[in-house]
Structure 1
Amino acid sequence: MPEPCPAFCVLLGPDYAGKSSAMSLLQGAESPWRTVSVDDDYLAPEHALLTQLRRNVVQEVAGRAGAWSPDFLATMLQTAVVHLRDQLGDDPATPAVVDSYYYKFLAKCRLAGAHDSVLLSWWRSFPQPRRVVYLDVAPDSAWRRSGEGADLNCLEYYGDHPTWDGFSRYQTDLAKTMHDEIAHLPVTVIEAQERPEQTAAAIRKVLANEFG
């Protein structure tokens, strides 16, 4: 039998859409939901391995073009995907907000060439959220937030090094691929806001409606 799963929503968006800032404002003792993410701030000490794996995936797998197959990249990213699924089952009584869930990982695997991996089909069989809250951001705004490419990693642009053209094309394709993956779900799009507090307030309204 499948593990029990709480009501949950997914916070999704392109790179530099502001998800991390929003997630930090959504968590807290007074929140009626819990936040689930593989970012360092959300990992328990016993899960610190994920931090090391994520760093190695970017530097040693995705960062070494031709050294590893797209399927191998998907295999490595699966550690994060399965952890997110497992964390959902840890407290089935409490609603959850999940950072990207498997959708962004899957989209990046597809862009890397892992179109037919059986792992991607397995991820799609995982429990589905009540709603996806999609944080939209224009590529030029995201480029500025990245320090005009200074803060990018190799899973955020096309090419051997960061350029505006490689970044904008990648982010456009990433957004389209993520939208393809969530087309069967209710989606609320939140346009880019001036301040993270405004984004978090807009997200809270959506979550309040979903979780009651």
Structure 2
Amino acid sequence: MVAPGDRGRFMVLTGIDGSGKSSLLSLIAIASLTTAGWRDLRHHELPAVMAPDEPTLIKNSMSSLPRAMFIGGHIVAQYEHLVRPQLELGVDVLLDSYWYKVMAKEHILGTSHPILADLCGALPVPDAVILLEVDPRVAYLRKRDSLTSYECMGTTDMKGFIRFQGRLRDRLEEELAGHPALYRVDADRDLRSVLRSATDVVQQCAPTSARMPEQLV
């Protein structure tokens, strides 16, 4: 049994679409750290709808309350299956976005239901949040061949993407303004530089974790 003081640290990595979250989560390598995203729910014995291939299509087929319950259940499942068990084992967790980005998007689109805001407000607060700061125009160059309707406003093209991501960036700033441990990383740079900066921040947030130098040479 892990002593309370040995509980792992819960960290969240977030940012607009195209900020590099998925790439960083696949590359960052620190001892006593697990990285996770919603697709990892597929490794657990859960209904397939908890990690569908096209979650946006499912959301868009629902009215307001079922949509909120679907999103809320998805977020709770991430915490209960990907985060909490690891923390209780003393392992640090870096989770992709948690509820921050999806809640910001729902607000922008006008589809947010009060029950979803209540649920998110009741969930555990991460020990630290790492915000990847990137210009929407830079993000577009990374995402232009794989844009989705949940990343754009109006049309799935450069104009629609940049418009939506600019609003998403502002909304994330609002959501995270009161967090007690918010760290910012300049993600406009090349992936190698961003990886080094993000790794340094994670180690600052969870100082007991040890760097694996061979991953950063």
- The bucket for the TM-score relative to the shorter chain is 0.7 to 0.9
Query: What are the Cα deviations for residues 157-185 of structure 1, in whole angstroms up to 9, with x where unaligned?
Result: 111x3132221111011111112111111
Alignment match, 1:163: 157
Alignment match, 1:195: 190
Alignment match, 2:57: 59
Q: SS in structure 1 opposite 2:91? A: coil
Equivalent position amino acid for 2:195 in 1: A
Query: Is residue 38–residue 84 contact of structure 1 (8 Å, CA) maintained in 2?
Result: yes
The alpha-carbon deviation at position 79 of structure 1 amounts to 3.1
Query: Is residue 6–residue 88 contact of structure 1 (8 Å, CA) maintained in 2?
Result: no
- Work out the CA distance in 2 between the residues paired with 1:18 and 1:162: 19
Alignment match, 1:79: 73
The alpha-carbon deviation at position 39 of structure 1 amounts to 2.8
State the aligned residue count.
Answer: 197
Percent identity at matched positions?
Answer: 24
Please list every run of 5 or more consecutive structure 2 residues that lacks an aligned counterpart in the other structure.
208-217
Q: Please show how residues 28-177 of structure 1 align to structure 2 within 5 Å.
A: 31-39=31-39, 43-44=42-43, 46-47=45-46, 49=48, 50-52=50-52, 55=54, 57-62=55-60, 68-86=62-80, 87-91=82-86, 92=88, 93-147=90-144, 150-159=145-154, 161-177=155-171
- Seen in structure 2, the aligned counterparts of structure 1 residues 116 and 79 have a Cα distance that, compared at 3 Å, is closer
Query: Is residue 64–residue 113 contact of structure 2 (8 Å, CA) maintained in 1?
Result: no
Root mean square deviation of aligned Cα: 2.2
Equivalent position amino acid for 2:192 in 1: E
Query: Is residue 147–residue 157 contact of structure 2 (8 Å, CA) maintained in 1?
Result: no
Please list every run of 5 or more consecutive structure 1 residues that lacks an aligned counterpart in the other structure.
none
The alpha-carbon deviation at position 48 of structure 1 amounts to 7.2
The alpha-carbon deviation at position 47 of structure 1 amounts to 4.4
Query: Which segment drifts farther, 165-174 or 75-84?
Result: 75-84
